[in-house]
Amino acid sequence: MRKAHFLSLMRFPSEWEAWGLYPDELFLEQLALYRPGDESGSEHDRNGAFHWWLRRKPGQEILERLLLLAEMDGDQVMAADIRKYVGKAMLELRLSGEDRVTSRPED
């Protein structure tokens, strides 16, 4: 399955790809777990994509984009939970004073 088809099937807003926040590494991980019918619970894949980024401790720019993606998501119950995690990551980033990489990875 091609990435574009997977993103559509799992109802990812197009900005995930347009902003470079759905790299091949993430796609291949999610595709390996995909089974026909999983699209009925596609919010789990989108939630997983948010947490994939959060585990990498991204910089402010990516965190801000994750907040925007959460606002666009079709499942606002899941998105509200994601906003809490992103907010916590933003606070930790400010408190740490670290200068983390803010750009997206290149595919």
- pLDDT tens digits, one per residue of 74-102: 999 999 999 999 999 999 999 998 655 55
Q: What is the pLDDT confidence band of residue 107, given thresholds at 50, 70 and 90?
A: very low
Domain boundaries defined on the chain? 3-96
The two structure tokens encoding residue 71? 């606002």
Average pLDDT, the chain: 92
**CA–CA dist 3, 9 (Å, integer):** 10
Euclidean distance between the first and final Cα of the chain, in Å? 18
CB 79 within 8 A of CB 66: no
Residue 37 Rama label (left phi>0; alpha psi -120 to 50; beta): left
**CA–CA dist 77, 28 (Å, integer):** 26
- pLDDT tens digits, one per residue of 25-65: 999 999 999 999 999 999 999 999 999 999 999 999 999 99
**CA–CA dist 53, 13 (Å, integer):** 16
Residue with tokens 């200068």: 99
